Amino acid sequence: MARRIMHIDLDAFFVSVEQALNPNLRGKPVVVGGRPDRRGVVASASYEARAFGLHAGMPLTTACRLCPQATFIEGSFSRYRHASQKFMAILADFSPYLEPVSLDEAYLDATGFESIHGSIHQMAIAIKQRIKDELALCASIGIASSKVVAKVASELSKPDGLLEVADGEERSFLAPLPIAKLPGIGKKTERILNGLGINTIGKLSNMPLDTLKSHFGTSGEVLHHYANGIDDREIKLPGAAKSISRETTFGKDTKDRSQLEATLRYLSERVSSELRQQGKLSRCITLKLRYADFRTITRHHTLRQGSNTDQTIFDTGLQLLKKALSQEKQPVRLIGIGVSNLIEPGRQLDMLDSSAERLEHLNKAIDRIRKKYGFTAIQTGRTLLLKDIFPQSGEGYTLHTPSLSR
């Protein structure tokens, strides 16, 4: 039986919460983002404001020029978080297979729920009605056999929409749409595809896989599948790791750079291997150091693009380590590295950097060998040094490497 996946997204979320609280604002051009005479951008624009060309990300000064009669509101994140919690609670009443994606967006697996509501379409109507009755907000819902098609459908149906794509109709539904409607196609990919004469999802779906791969590497394969309405991604229930980290306490406090760097390398490889096992990329790398006097510091770096390679995670950690050591002369008692802000690879199809792709292949090969022969079967020049520092026991080092936060 084909899956029935729903993508639910609230319309003009921040603005709609303000309109729900203040009926005078309903049906009018409203912008949340800040005062128009201040620096800043539009976070959310009502559909009445969008008619004047306003959209998220537009500088407020431009928004004010295009639509001076709009009401500009600073906004309050706690109000939006509160509304979001209520929204997710309503969805959870309908199916336990719920994956919140952002404050106002979620996937829900409704497969097999026809018998309860008459049809999945009826179920979606009931969800929209409860959101309207209890929150005075409007949701748009797409229903399809996969996440990607459901998301395109909900976006297309906005505002106050409901669009179901029947099983088997995925390709023909997507075909006439401009490529920018396909999740994961950013400005850069769009430009390259347009340069190749590809402007619709249908044309993209007919492009030979090899050609796509030659332009976009492994992301080309994802593009090919999405354009053909193929997407096996499951609904991911919350509770999966939000961060992964490893740390180790030295037997004896140390200032030895090579020992610190070798240990950091080892811990980075452990963390990135776990990331790859979970099929995730990380955008935030954190270094943790505890000094001899027990003072503990953490230093973060945010990557422009997500990564799960040993090299990127180690290199980033190393930069943070070098900086920290230049500022503090005490010996180190504990070193740790962590990754957070975890994302799925599908969300960064714009990864066009072939060196990043080569690293990904290399790391996958290393994982395969390690799975077969043990983690320390492969070592880099840096971690080899640990052999002299830590006695080896069986297959792995006797490093104390607890997972800190899960």
Binding letters toward ligand TTP, positions 166-195, x by CB under 6 A: ------------------------------
Catalytic annotation, pick one of 18, 99, 105, 360: 105
* Phi, psi (rounded to 5 degrees) for 4: -120, 100
Per CB under 6 A, does 18 bind ligand TTP?
A: no
What's the order of all strands across the beta sheet hosting 281-291?
A: 244-254, 332-343, 281-291, 296-307
Distant-in-sequence, close-in-space partners of 379: CB < 8 Å, separation ≥ 6: none
Per CB under 5 A, does 13 bind Mg ion?
A: yes
Number of residues that bind ligand TTP (CB under 6 A): 14
* Phi, psi (rounded to 5 degrees) for 133: -65, -45
Question: What are the DSSP E strand ranges found in 12-161?
Answer: 30-32, 44-45, 71-73, 98-102, 105-109, 139-144
170 has catalytic annotation: no
57 binds, among ligand TTP, Mg ion, none (CB under 5 to 8 A by kind): ligand TTP
CA-to-CA distance for 189 and 211, rounded, in angstroms? 14
Contacting ligand TTP within 137-166 (CB under 6 A): 158-159
Both tokens of residue 379? 């070592």
Cβ proximity to ligand TTP: between 34 and 331 the closer is: 34
Binding letters toward ligand TTP, positions 82-121, x by CB under 6 A: ----------------------xx----------------
Per CB under 6 A, does 11 bind ligand TTP?
A: yes
Q: How far is the CB of 75 from Mg ion (least distance, A)?
A: 14
Per CB under 6 A, does 43 bind ligand TTP?
A: yes
Per CB under 6 A, does 381 bind ligand TTP?
A: no
User: Within the chain, what is the greatest distance between any pair of CA atoms?
Assistant: 73
In the DSSP assignment, the letter for residue 237 is P
Cβ proximity to Mg ion: between 155 and 274 the closer is: 155
Helix (H, G, I), strand (E, B) or coil at 397: strand
**Among the listed residues 48, 104, 109, 360, the single contact to Mg ion using CB under 5 A:** 104
Contacting Mg ion within 27-86 (CB under 5 A): none
In the DSSP assignment, the letter for residue 399 is -
| Contact predicate 270/263, CB 8 Å | no
Cβ proximity to ligand TTP: between 137 and 198 the closer is: 137
Q: How far is the CB of 55 from ligand TTP (least distance, A)?
A: 8
Cβ proximity to Mg ion: between 104 and 170 the closer is: 104
Cβ proximity to ligand TTP: between 10 and 106 the closer is: 10
CA-to-CA distance for 82 and 75, rounded, in angstroms? 13
289 binds, among Mg ion, ligand TTP, none (CB under 5 to 8 A by kind): none
Query: Stretches 8-16, 123-131, 246-254, 316-324: which one binds ligand TTP (CB under 6 A)?
Result: 8-16
**Among the listed residues 4, 6, 8, 13, the single contact to ligand TTP using CB under 6 A:** 13
33: left (phi over 0), alpha (psi -120 to 50) or beta: left
What secondary structure does DSSP assign to 322-370, as a single string?
A: HHHHHH--SPEEEEEEEEEEEE-GGGGTT---HHHHHHHHHHHHHHHHH
Query: Which spans of this chain sit near ligand TTP (rule: CB under 6 A)?
Result: 9-14, 43-44, 56-57, 104-105, 158-159
Query: Which spans of this chain sit near Mg ion (rule: CB under 5 A)?
Result: 9-10, 13, 104
Catalytic residues: 105
